Structure 1
Amino acid sequence: MTVETMFIDSGVVVAGKIVLTGWTVGEDDPVTFRLETSDGRVGEAGVECCVRFDRADVAELYGHAAIDVGCAIGIAVEPFAGLDLVGATLTLTVLDAAGDIVHAQAFAMARLVVGPDGVAADQRWPIDLVIGGALFAPAVARALQWGLDGGCAVETPHIFLDSWARVGGGVIVSGWIENAATRQLVVLTDTLDAARAGSDLATFDRPDVADAMRRRGAAVETSHHGFLTTLPLVDRESARLFVLADDGGRMRPLGALALAADRIDSVENALNNFTTHFGGGALPSPAVMVRHVRPLLTGQSAPAVTHEVLRLREPTAPPRLSVIVPLYARPFLLRAILANQAAYPAGTEFIYVSDDPRQHLVVRNYLIDRRGLIDRPTTLVINGGNYGFSVANAIGARVATAPLLLFQNSDVWIEDGQALTVAAAELDQGRFGIVGFRLLYEDDTLQHDGMVLRRGRHVHDLFAAEHLGKGLPPEPIAADAAMTIGVPAVTGAMMMIARDWYDALGGFDPGYVRGDFEDADLCLRSVAGGRPVGLVRTGGMRHLERQSLVHSGGDALRSAITYLNCIRFNARWHEDLAA
């Protein structure tokens, strides 16, 4: 794409899409748009439609004979989940088909203003340009047209909201609608920014509603009057949801559901209900999870534009090994972490990355107060926010100065550092690209002895990482057996890699959420790059496992995150693993 110049004048979020308006004097339409917030969070989406219109002023200015240089562009909003789109200063970047940047500018997204008479002409006309195309599903387009024209609904006895929960930037809503399963329904926010229709609403049995309808003499066409759906990005000014029935191409309002404080549910209950009604006794399909849950739980990762480095003790000589330990919750583990420094080989430096803003002050004060007792090179990094496993480790790697990196969880305890020396030698000799370690629970049973990747029925036959022998006594190692063996993958709880190889692989993928599957993904990338994965089988290392994750949400939230990460992992590796 060759663009001499272009500009985006305005943009609004409407019915789950972003509609942008601007102009370009290039011959080809834009291909991809990227939006970045001031704190470095980035989202990217391909253009779904581009409608040209006349802009004689621009054409004349650039000496173009054609005047259809104006463009109304539609893109999906889900890739920008986690970004504050409205009211924030953004950087908008346009990419061509080759991924090259062809335009960049500062940009501010406007809030769609919905008045008693609908949406004013200055905001409405670009939406009218794209609404007749394929950007919106037909029922959503008709519901949106109803809202743009000033359509409104009030609370009625024919629909009811049982509960709603704000999850990330969106909501999960559940209630009942009379004859829900036999109607073509659309749920639309009163701010017109989000909509769901058709199969995006799960319906389920509500015999109590059917009984009440019969007592009233209403026609009961189905037993499924209950409904549940998600709305991925909802303006916090939204106060109501309009429920519409599409009757042969004509939208008929069934009523309004108020997002009232006394109907707020917990995230845990909302996710459990989602799984029940969309999964039918099992986990929902990967496609359903990607459409409904990923936009709610997957915030865009920031490239750590804000972090502070505090050198507690400088090295007296260049270190050989940098131990990187992200810290989240559980600040009491610092006592063991500091006490454990003596178990590591000479030439080791320690990088502690505080990734929990709630604990920054506690961590900082604890380490500063004990600065005089620290006799190994030690650095504290204070992140500007909770960036997550991948980014926290990436920051630590950038701060580290040694040629070897050891990524370690805060709940790992080293009794014998000999395994670290063995692993370093294996990397130096080039036998492996990544080396992990046998890890034991406190009762001497196995926590980790390498990972295998197998299909799991519970995740719709996707490949998942399994710890073989977990919870069992470790198998004895014969005297003549190799101390280090090849394995498919190892846990990121204790993983050593050469810095240059880590950089070449691009580090852990920040697209995974909160610490699941990043390790297996990095291992498979290493193998694909020609360097296998090894496991040092000596003892002397313990892992209490997931001490921090118990503070990152309940079981339903953790399960949803793990499943989403599994889906992402399989999107990249399923074909290779199935071969």
Structure 2
Amino acid sequence: MKTKIKKIIKARLPSIAKKFEKQRILNIDLVCVQNGRLVISGWLVDRQFQITQSSLKVMGSDSDIYTFERADVSGAMGLENPQNCFGFIIVFDGKASDISNVQFESDSFTFPLRKQRYNLAKNVSDILAHVPKDREKAFSFFQMHGFEVDEHAVTAPTVTRKLDKDVLKIKRILDSINVYDADFFDVAKTHLLPEIQRIWKSRIAKFKTSEVQVLGEIPENPNVSLIIPLYGRYDFIQHQISQFSKDSGFKDVEVIYVVDDPEIARIVNITAFGVFQIYRYPFKVVYSDFNRGFSGANNLGVSHARGEKLLLLNSDILPSKAGWVQELAAQHESLDDCGILGATLVYEDDTIQHAGMEFRKDSHYPGILMNHHPFKGVPVDLLDMAPVFNVTITTGACMLINKALYNEIGGFDPLYVLGDFEDSDLCLKVLDKGLKNYCSSTVRLYHLERLSQDLVDKGDWKFKLTLINGVYQMEKWSSLLEEVA
């Protein structure tokens, strides 16, 4: 289907066809504010042409740039010429309040910083520690600009996240498994799934009470409670709160962030306080004592929610207009048989990431119905969709559901380990009650998925775990799936 649409577009709409091919890609890794200047690191790729440091500038600013090789990016992109890619550190005058207005210019391409996902670095030493090699040159670059740099950062290894004991046990179980074996489904169902769920049930039993940070005066009787899990990346708190604070409809909305990563608890606490001081928009932060996974994090957030309706939202979702929460809630209220209402999610180039999902067989993984996005990659304006339309399932990146219904059906099933298939499972719970799932086409949100998520090796243990979750869904809902798939 997607190939056919591309051919039609290339024949009739050449300008739109270009959106399918990202020739030049900018990725921001770290942003730092120090000495009255902004310091930003990342990488730039051009799939067709060689690029040099003159290929990247900050619009409206007199910036200086240091470039270096990024062999890891070149390899992941399959670039034959290493000169089609470089890593960079760029320095220019600015303060924290300027971050959301920064735009990069690369020849005829522009890249707004607000549409990037990045981490906030404490200082330039943190940025230096992420330079792959030849850090002495980067060290000299910072010294030339008058920055004080920790000399240990020159030789410090890049920090890597250690897997906790439970996750490491699961990884070891999956490492030797070949998902393409003919008997994979049977082995997964009979042996792998019970063992992995035994580990996870033991972990769930260890969950304790959580700590809550309240910033400002939260509405006592909100109409909607937003639940936003955080793991690893926390930088989008500022971007989301910046947008929410400008939307008058958010006066009756309760925003709850759930930190599902104890390693970032301290920096999130500091960041959240700073964000509130800037935007004065009230929100809560719930801190989990364990990494509970997507299901557990959302369930934890819901336990702290006051609203009649729940809006389960990813941290990398940004609105395209004001009033979207009220519009989504009104649409949900107008449908007597609506269990879950999703939204249309688009990439930064306005091509569709999500407009409802369906179950689809995959010949590579027999026995498992995969969650498929039928319109993914299609320019959103090419589709003639009803304002609200019925779908079989919808993504957990944005789900609106009545809190009473969520609790009645047991919320997300925590036995979908870490993530994947828990959203379709919740949709199946709704269908099993005789209700329907819908998607809104008038509420469009930007979903800023990181490029690195598209580069995951299919042999990776996390992908294997995704398939194990798929096996669990097949076992749990076999009869209902025969009806709806």
TM-score, normalised to structure 1, is: 0.50
Cα distance, 1:465 vs structure 2? 0.9
Partners of 2:329 and 2:269 in 1: CA distance = 31
Picking from 276, 294, 315, the partner of 2:218 is 315
- Encode CA deviations 1:42-66: one digit per residue, 9 max, x unaligned: xxxxxxxxxxxxxxxxxxxxxxxxx
Q: Which secondary structure state, in structure 2, belongs to the residue aligned with residue 485 of structure 1?
A: strand
> Identity of counterpart residues, as a percentage?
30
- Encode CA deviations 1:2-61: one digit per residue, 9 max, x unaligned: xxxxxxxxxxxxxxxxxxxxxxxxxxxxxxxxxxxxxxxxxxxxxxxxxxxxxxxxxxxx
- Partner amino acid for 1:366? T
Instruction: Name the structure with the higher helix share.
Output: 2
Higher relative contact order (CA 8 A, sep 6+): 2
Whether 1:493 aligns to 2:397 is yes
Q: Who is 1:174 aligned against?
A: none
Instruction: Name the structure with the higher strand share.
Output: 1
Whether 1:407 aligns to 2:312 is yes
Q: Who is 1:503 aligned against?
A: 407
Q: Who is 1:394 aligned against?
A: 299
Q: Which secondary structure state, in structure 2, belongs to the residue aligned with residue 511 of structure 1?
A: coil
- Partner amino acid for 2:215? L
Q: Who is 1:327 aligned against?
A: 230
Q: Is the 8 A contact 2:224 2:310 kept in 1?
A: yes
- Partner amino acid for 1:327? L
- Partner amino acid for 1:306? T
Partners of 2:216 and 2:304 in 1: CA distance = 14
Q: Which secondary structure state, in structure 1, belongs to the residue aligned with residue 177 of structure 2?
A: helix
Q: Who is 2:460 aligned against?
A: 556
Aligned length: 314
Picking from 368, 371, 388, the partner of 1:462 is 368
Picking from 268, 271, 276, the partner of 1:363 is 268
Instruction: Map 1:54-93; keep pairs closer than 5 Å.
Output: none
- Partner amino acid for 1:302? I
Distance 1:450 1:550, change over 3 A: closer
Distance 1:548 1:331, change over 3 A: farther
Partners of 1:342 and 1:284 in 2: CA distance = 53
Q: Who is 1:523 aligned against?
A: 427
> Displaced runs of 4+ in structure 1, greater than 6 A?
546-554
Structure of higher CA gyration radius: 1
Q: Who is 1:264 aligned against?
A: none
Moved more, 368-377 or 324-333: 368-377
Partners of 2:295 and 2:303 in 1: CA distance = 12
Q: Who is 1:288 aligned against?
A: 187
Q: Is the 8 A contact 1:462 1:574 kept in 2?
A: no
Distance 1:420 1:369, change over 3 A: closer
- Partner amino acid for 1:523? C
Q: Who is 1:439 aligned against?
A: 345
Picking from 438, 443, 449, the partner of 1:545 is 449
- Encode CA deviations 1:500-546: one digit per residue, 9 max, x unaligned: 11111110000101111111111111111122101001254111236
Unaligned 5+ runs, structure 1: 1-165, 172-231, 234-266
- Encode CA deviations 1:374-403: one digit per residue, 9 max, x unaligned: 433300111111111111111111111111
Unaligned 5+ runs, structure 2: 1-162
Q: Which secondary structure state, in structure 2, belongs to the residue aligned with residue 491 of structure 1?
A: coil
Instruction: Map 1:36-435; keep pairs closer than 5 Å.
Output: 271=174, 273-275=176-178, 281-282=180-181, 284-294=183-193, 295-296=195-196, 299-300=200-201, 301-302=203-204, 304-342=207-245, 344=247, 345-346=249-250, 347-429=252-334, 430-435=336-341
Cα distance, 1:296 vs structure 2? 4.8
Q: Is the 8 A contact 1:422 1:536 kept in 2?
A: no
TM-score, normalised to structure 2, is: 0.59
Aligned-residue Cα RMSD (Å) equals: 3.1
